[in-house]
Amino acid sequence: MTQKAGFFTYLALILLALIFIAPVLWIFISSVKGPIDLYSWPPKFLPDSLSFENFTAAFSKGNFGLYFINSAIVAVSATILTLLINTMAGYALSKFRFKGDTLILFLFLSTLMIPIEVIMTPIFTVISKLGLYNNLLGLIIPPAATPMGVFLIRQYLLTVPDDLLEAARMDGAGEWRIFWTIIVPIAKPVIAVLTIFSFMWRWDDFIWPLIVISDPSKYTIQLALANFIGEFRVDWGSLLAMSVVTMIPILIVFLIFQKQFVKGMATSGMKE
Amino acid sequence: MVVEKSKAMPMAIKKTNVETMKKAQRKKKLAPYLFVLPNLLIFLIFIIIPALMGLVYSFTSYNGVSDMKFTGLENYIRLFNNAEFWKIMLNTLIYAALVVPLVFAISLGIAMLMIKEMKARGLFRAIIFWPTMISFIIVGLSWKWIFGDSFGVITYLLEAGGLPPIKWLSDPVIAKITIVIATVWARVGFFMVIFIAGLQSIPASYYEAAQIDGANRSQLFWKITLPLLKPTSLLVFMLLIVESVKAYPLIFSLTGGGPAKETTLIVQYIFEFGFTKSEVGYASAMSVILFLLIGIFTLIQFKWAEGGKID
């Protein structure tokens, strides 16, 4: 259905865009205000002069650099692991018929409905028993097997013709090589979708780090932010600056994969 | 991509082909298991086993440290008599009952606007998608900064417009509405993208044919768009139900669950008992009840979407 947008569509979208962008803009603007502008009443919409005090304070006093690095280590390695094992599983479940395949698919899909929040107390026991408590690996490995990821990849690969793989097998290509030289390149758009989601999930995650990490030197950004909020007197300046910095890596990941992302969303499993 | 050239001599080609094909067949049988193994292992260890353990815990007095004692249905009986638990369960249900249809309708509406041909479409999509990428902790913080009683810009705007101040975060009813608004704002972009993908997969010819038969706009929507969106809608509903359970961080940073537990949702309550109070058995019983509720909603969804298949 390709209708042309009329006046009212534009009007509605511009209003919506304003609603959606205003809070973010307000955070960005507030973050570059000095303490006087920040707490002035009536609120000053634009600061008299730019001040980056909040940012320097967050990094020097708030130990924010360390939390940023922890988050980066976790988000990047968890994303790589997620991409690898979810693409492998999605491939197996879309292009092979094997004993137990329906059972495994059913397991994956049913856990789509179990948010880890529901089973956090027993997960904590498992994490501690495996020595993953207070360990960044505990933030990287367990959440890598996402049912959503497997589901997306599988739906996408179902559309790949089997002949292509059979032809490669006839030429003597091994399964592992078929995976890397045929499946992965074909699946690029949906892998881009998963890259963005996975990075977002891990970078923004709060509950999982809250369960796994208690040692402040291993805090991720979200834990650090939560800890800041919990303090008696909230330092809004640092908090706003940290919020702004925290949004930047996601923006970068999104910009890198955006083109593929749009293509991938349009073709990944939302079809009849 | 590296493509190796075959090193086999021309004479030997036929024989090696047969052999490699046999070998390939054997490998093909084993391959899917190896491909699915890493994911499956993590899954079993960190989701399936804990889920089963939780079920066991719920019948014990386990406190996370000492040996667990089997107590039968004691935790469940205690829960049924705990008025606070039911109040918080009700909070969660109200929250989900507002968030799920609101996000569904608004994101579908926006998606329908977004698939029209227009200038700056990419920019509009990016702006609406952007809040989706912000963590719930920061969403909560932002809204607290905007709606705060003493420094919130909204409070000021109302005041400037001669309107009475609204207690966004401290009135029991309004605080509930505030957390819903914040969630809708934060999640609509994500589901908009999913709906756009779904809408684009509906062939234009369906609409053209219906229009020739004289169908009007609302008929097009109810008779074509909505039925053909069933698989997408099912996915969206399932994800939304799960999401409304996951809102704890947003509420933590926006209202802290207050005033007087009015915005406390069940996950926060489970966390409180499971970790702060070390009543693991009791918390697990709550988890089991929550899990059953989610399961019931999912089944209803599947019933509703019968015919809307997953693959």
pLDDT tens figures, B63-119: 888 778 899 899 999 999 999 999 999 999 999 999 999 999 999 999 999 888 888
Complex ipTM value:
0.88
Judge whether residue B121 has pLDDT over 90: no
How far apart are alpha carbons A64 and A108 in whole angstroms?
A: 37
Q: Does A89 touch chain B (CB under 8 A)?
A: yes
What the block records as the tokens of B180 is 């819903």
Residue of chain B nearest A200, judged by CA positions = B133
Judge whether residue A188 has pLDDT over 70: yes
Q: Does B110 touch chain A (CB under 8 A)?
A: yes
Q: Does B274 touch chain A (CB under 8 A)?
A: yes
Which residues of B are less than 8 Å from A204 in CB distance?
Answer: 133-137
Judge whether residue A83 has pLDDT over 50: yes
Asked which of A99-103, A165-169, B151-155, B171-175 is least confident by mean pLDDT, the reply is: B151-155
In the prediction, which pLDDT does B13 show? 52
3-state helix, strand, coil in chain B (%, to 5): 75, 0, 25
Q: Does A142 touch chain B (CB under 8 A)?
A: yes
Contact between A237 and A35 (Cβ < 8 Å)? yes
- Facing B287 at nearest CB: one of A101, A118, A145: A118
Which secondary-structure segment (H or E) carries A260?
helix A236-267
Judge whether residue B6 has pLDDT over 50: no
Q: What predicted TM-score, i.e. pTM, was given to this entire model?
A: 0.87
Judge whether residue A14 has pLDDT over 80: yes
CA distance B173 to chain A (A): 23
Question: Mutating which of B15, B22, B135 best tests the A interface, going by the most A Cβ atoms within 10 A?
Answer: B135
Q: pLDDT tens-digit profile of B29-76?
A: 888 999 999 999 999 999 999 999 999 999 998 888 877 889 989 999
Q: Does B184 touch chain A (CB under 8 A)?
A: no
Distances (CA, A) of B53 to A242, B62, B97, B246, B281: 38, 11, 30, 21, 10
Please judge whether A126 and B50 are an interchain contact, meaning their C-beta atoms are less than 8 angstroms apart.
Answer: yes
- φ, ψ of residue B6 to 5 degrees: the values are -65, 130
Asked which of A44-53, A205-214, A261-270, B221-230 is least confident by mean pLDDT, the reply is: A261-270
- φ, ψ of residue A163 to 5 degrees: the values are -55, -40
Please judge whether B40 and A225 are an interchain contact, meaning their C-beta atoms are less than 8 angstroms apart.
Answer: no
Q: Does A182 touch chain B (CB under 8 A)?
A: no
Query: Would you tell me which residues 22-81 of chain B have a C-beta closer than 8 angstroms to some C-beta of chain A?
Result: 24, 27-29, 31-33, 35-36, 38-40, 42-43, 45-51, 53-54, 57, 64
In the prediction, which pLDDT does A232 show? 64
Mean pLDDT, range A231-236, rounded to an integer: 74
- Facing A92 at nearest CB: one of B32, B43, B283: B32
Residue A35: band (very low, low, confident or very high) from pLDDT cuts 50, 70, 90: confident
In the prediction, which pLDDT does B166 show? 80
Q: How many CB atoms lie within 10 A of CB B114?
A: 22
Mean pLDDT computed over every residue of chain B? 85
Closest CA to A191 of A243, A220, A245, A150: A150
How far apart are alpha carbons B64 and A125 in whole angstroms?
A: 8
How far apart are alpha carbons B140 and B145 in whole angstroms?
A: 9
